[in-house]
């Protein structure tokens, strides 16, 4: 095992897959000469050249639409959205085209496409550049939505995504590129659509993913000081959603909270809570609590921004509440 | 073009007309659902255009796609079956009138979001450029699509990256019920290519030979130069925008005037005057089309519905 950052993990995954398969190329805003606005593709332009690291105009429809077309004719493009907030400019291509073209034409087309997008708040970028709209995209059958919370998962899942024959939205978090974690030496893959227990425990289940995992792990440390053992289930993929580890954990603990960075209403947490009630109602010992972002456009001011985002202490409080 | 090819074009045009006339009847009889946009009046456009392509050149179009599908070599049987939503249809009954494709015939679909397929067409050309071949992507769209942002992003990318796309605007004078003048800053759609430094031309779309010649020149240019090109083909749809269009936006005199330039009539006259075909030979083609269409309707009506298990098939390629 080696300890690397999230940025290095994603960068390694891209590089390994580009070395492995000449059909893989990258296209997006500032991915080439600039090296990626989050420096994920730093050095790629020099190594692979302009053909394989394509700087695009600021034109999200052309980026995602173009990547879809290239995928349909046999290439394996990785399209980068500088931030997931720009996905709204390309909404038609993500939900109306990528998610539907295969099905609508009776399975004739294959779309081996990865859309990498950076999401999340906490960097004082203001309301339009700080969103966590993951649930919106997970709503659409035909799309797969992956959002890792550790370097190990980021690398293994991204490599699987690039090898997949389906359109995948791969969501990274803007504040997590420096997060360090151990990754296995040598090549490895992590399957898409598998949730994972990231920390075992017996008193309650915390269901989360991406930034929520980082916060929940810290919260679990706090809770452990008071003798509370939280089990953390990391969804890793939002669609297709793997409920097995969640239900297995819940049937053991009978109490759960769900932690996400996006807004609470109509969110990932709403889906998880419903599924638990539908599939494990007899095991419920306490109402399940959702910890999520306050229902406001995210403000610029740091204090206000942090007040809107879910915090470690919110998770600790929710855990204690559900254990009452 | 050789005599056989010219007669084949005539066959294709008559086939489109009859398939759609029968389709309209089946629609009114309640056997076809959803939206259905007829190509009647515009047959010379895709017939002349697609005759000018190499089989390796890709075709992608909007929702008015039955004619394009037939020109690309999809069978009347599979087109009719798709209209009826049958398992034997071009898209296994899951796409309907607006979504017909056959990748083996390099027909990459009718697409129902106005302008939505233009960046995808650019993407085909990105893929072909990456694969270092010189295939041309022929992307057809209506005049209305040139007012949406997708058009401009796609044209800009195509010129900036040197993509082999022939952009074909079928200007049938109306985007649904809105005349070009009422929706577009310029009357001549081809002018929009000028802003992108893109070569362009305009051609009469009621004359299949003129369409063919202009398309041939454009495709040759795109392939040779590795640059996009915009061809505006002026035409007119004789029927409503879709089935059930009250047509309040145009006068019947206008429709009648354009119908005097029926593309099938013009080509029929051309073939006779140039002594390429006899009246008898053309009558025989028309009789053959009647049989083909009757057979296609029979095929579609007797084809099975998609199995319910198909509901969950083909959402993803990987499990």
* Residue closest to B263 by CA, chosen among B14, B20, B22, B7: B14
At residue A117, does pLDDT exceed 90?
Answer: yes
Contact flag A70-B314 (C-beta cutoff 8 Å):
no
Q: From the candidates B62, B101, B119, B129, which should be mutated to test the interface with A, based on the most A CB atoms within 10 A?
A: B119
Contact flag B156-A75 (C-beta cutoff 8 Å):
no
Let me know: does B192 contact B155? Beta carbons within 8 Å.
Answer: yes
Pairing of strands B178-179, B174-175: antiparallel
Count of pairs with CB atoms under 8 A, one residue in A, one in B: 138
pLDDT in tens, A279-320: 999 999 999 999 999 999 999 999 999 999 999 999 999 999
Find the closest chain B residue to A91 by CA distance. B116
Q: Which chain B residues have a beta carbon less than 8 Å from that of A100?
A: none
Contacts for A316 with CB less than 8 Å, ≥ 6 apart = A219, A222, A223
ipTM of this complex prediction, to 2 decimal places: 0.94
Let me know: does A246 contact A297? Beta carbons within 8 Å.
Answer: no
Let me know: does A193 contact A145? Beta carbons within 8 Å.
Answer: no
What pLDDT was estimated at residue A302?
Answer: 97
At residue A259, does pLDDT exceed 90?
Answer: yes
> In a structure prediction context, what are the per-residue pLDDT tens digits for chain B, which is 319 residues long?
999 999 999 999 999 999 999 999 999 999 999 999 999 999 999 999 999 999 999 999 999 999 999 999 999 999 999 999 999 999 999 999 999 999 999 999 999 999 999 999 999 999 999 999 999 999 999 999 999 999 999 999 999 999 999 999 999 999 999 999 999 999 999 999 999 999 999 999 999 999 999 999 999 999 999 999 999 999 999 999 999 898 999 999 999 999 999 999 999 999 999 999 999 999 999 999 999 999 999 999 999 999 999 999 999 999 7
Q: Where in chain A is the domain with CATH 3.40.50.920?
A: 196-323
Q: Which chain A residues have a beta carbon less than 8 Å from that of B314?
A: 102-103, 106-107
Sign of CA dihedral A121, A123, A127, A130: negative
Would you tell me which residues 84-123 of chain B have a C-beta closer than 8 angstroms to some C-beta of chain A? 89-95, 99, 101-103, 108-109, 113, 116, 118-123
Q: Which chain B residues have a beta carbon less than 8 Å from that of A70?
A: 123-124, 126-127, 130
Beta strands in chain A (DSSP E): 2-5, 24-28, 53-55, 76-81, 114-119, 144-146, 168-173, 180-183, 196-199, 204-208, 230-234, 237-239, 256-263, 289-293
> How far, in Å, CA of B209 to CA of A308, rounded?
66
Contacts for A128 with CB less than 8 Å, ≥ 6 apart = A85
> How far, in Å, CA of A272 to CA of A86, rounded?
27
> How far, in Å, CA of B190 to CA of B200, rounded?
6
Give the containing element (helix H, strand E) for B233. strand B229-234
CA distances from A193 to A164, A236, A237, A271, A300 (A): 12, 7, 5, 16, 35
Let me know: does A201 contact A231? Beta carbons within 8 Å.
Answer: yes
Cα of B60 to nearest chain A Cα, Å: 11
> Helix and strand tally (H, E) in chain A?
12, 14
Domain covering A196-323 assigned CATH 3.40.50.920 in the classification: yes
Q: Which chain B residues have a beta carbon less than 8 Å from that of A74?
A: 127, 131
Cα of A211 to nearest chain B Cα, Å: 27
The domains located in chain B, with CATH, are: 3-240+249-304 (3.40.50.970)
Architecture of domain A2-183: 3-Layer(aba) Sandwich (3.40)
* Residue closest to A6 by CA, chosen among A250, A174, A138, A206: A174
Q: Where in chain A is the domain with CATH 3.40.50.970?
A: 2-183
Q: A60 an active-site residue?
A: yes
CA distances from A4 to A11, A237, B141, B160 (A): 11, 22, 49, 38
> How far, in Å, CA of A233 to CA of A247, rounded?
10
Query: Of residues A8, A29, A60, A80, which has the active-site annotation?
Result: A60
Mean pLDDT of A10-25: 98
> How far, in Å, CA of A17 to CA of B153, rounded?
29
Cα of B116 to nearest chain A Cα, Å: 8
What pLDDT was estimated at residue A94?
Answer: 98
């Amino acid at each position: 095992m080696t300890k690397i950052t999230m940025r290095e993990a994603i960068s390694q995954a891209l590089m390994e897959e580009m070395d492995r398969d000449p059909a893989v190329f990258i296209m997006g805003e500032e991915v080439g000469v600039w090296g990626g606005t989050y420096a994920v593709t730093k050095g790629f332009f020099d190594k692979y050249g302009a053909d394989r690291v394509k700087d695009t105009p600021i034109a999200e429809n052309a980026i995602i639409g173009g990547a879809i077309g290239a995928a349909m004719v046999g290439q394996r493009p990785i399209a980068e959205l500088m931030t997931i907030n720009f996905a709204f400019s390309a909404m038609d291509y993500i939900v109306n085209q990528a998610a539907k073209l295969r099905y609508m034409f009776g399975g004739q087309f294959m779309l081996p496409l990865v859309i990498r997008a950076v999401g999340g708040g906490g960097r004082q970028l203001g309301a339009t550049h700080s969103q966590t709209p993951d649930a919106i995209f997970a709503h659409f059958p035909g799309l797969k939505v992956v959002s890792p919370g550790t370097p190990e998962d980021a690398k293994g899942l991204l490599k699987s995504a690039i090898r997949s024959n389906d359109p995948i939205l791969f969501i990274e978090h803007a504040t997590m590129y420096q997060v360090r974690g151990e990754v296995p030496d040598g090549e490895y893959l992590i399957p898409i659509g598998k949730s994972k227990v990231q920390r075992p425990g017996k008193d309650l289940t915390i269901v989360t993913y991406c930034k929520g995992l980082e916060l929940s792990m810290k919260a679990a440390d706090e809770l452990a000081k008071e003798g509370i053992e939280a089990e953390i289930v990391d969804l890793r993929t939002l669609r297709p959603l793997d409920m097995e580890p969640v239900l297995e954990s819940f049937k053991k603990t009978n109490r759960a909270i769900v932690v996400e960075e996006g807004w609470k209403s109509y969110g990932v947490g709403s889906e998880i809570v419903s599924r638990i009630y539908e599939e494990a109602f007899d095991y419920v010992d306490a109402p399940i609590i959702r910890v999520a972002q306050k229902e406001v456009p995210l403000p610029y001011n740091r204090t206000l921004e942090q007040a809107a985002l879910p915090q470690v202490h919110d998770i600790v409080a929710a855990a204690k509440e559900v254990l009452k | 073009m050789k005599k056989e090819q010219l007669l084949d074009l005539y066959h294709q045009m008559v086939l489109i007309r009859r398939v759609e006339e029968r389709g309209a009847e089946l629609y009114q009889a309640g056997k076809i659902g959803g939206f259905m946009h007829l190509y009647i009046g515009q047959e010379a456009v895709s017939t002349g255009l697609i005759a000018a392509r190499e089989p390796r050149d890709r075709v992608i179009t909007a929702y008015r796609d039955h004619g394009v599908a037939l020109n690309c070599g999809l069978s009347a049987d599979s087109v009719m079956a798709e209209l009826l939503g049958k398992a034997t249809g071009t898209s296994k009954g899951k796409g309907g009138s607006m979504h017909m494709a056959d990748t083996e015939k390099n027909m990459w679909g009718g697409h129902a979001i106005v302008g939505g397929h233009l960046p995808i067409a650019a993407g085909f050309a990105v893929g072909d450029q990456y694969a270092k071949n010189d295939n041309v992507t022929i992307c057809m769209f209506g005049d209305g699509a040139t007012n949406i942002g997708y058009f401009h992003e796609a044209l800009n990318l195509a010129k900036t990256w040197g993509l082999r796309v022939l952009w074909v605007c079928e200007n049938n004078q109306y985007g649904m019920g809105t005349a070009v003048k009422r929706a577009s800053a310029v009357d001549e759609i081809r002018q929009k290519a000028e802003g992108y430094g893109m070569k362009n031309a305009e051609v009469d779309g009621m004359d299949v030979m003129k369409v063919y010649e202009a398309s041939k020149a454009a495709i040759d240019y795109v392939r040779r130069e590795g640059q996009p090109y915009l061809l505006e083909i002026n035409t007119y749809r004789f029927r409503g925008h879709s089935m059930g269009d009250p047509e309040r936006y145009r006068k019947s005199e206008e429709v009648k005037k354009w119908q005097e330039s029926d593309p099938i009539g013009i080509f029929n006259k051309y073939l006779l005057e140039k002594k390429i075909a006899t009246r008898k030979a053309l009558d025989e083609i028309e009789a053959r089309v009647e049989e083909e269409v009757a057979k296609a309707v029979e095929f579609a009506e007797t084809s099975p519905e998609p199995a319910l298990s198909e509901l969950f098939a083909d959402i993803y390629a990987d499990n």
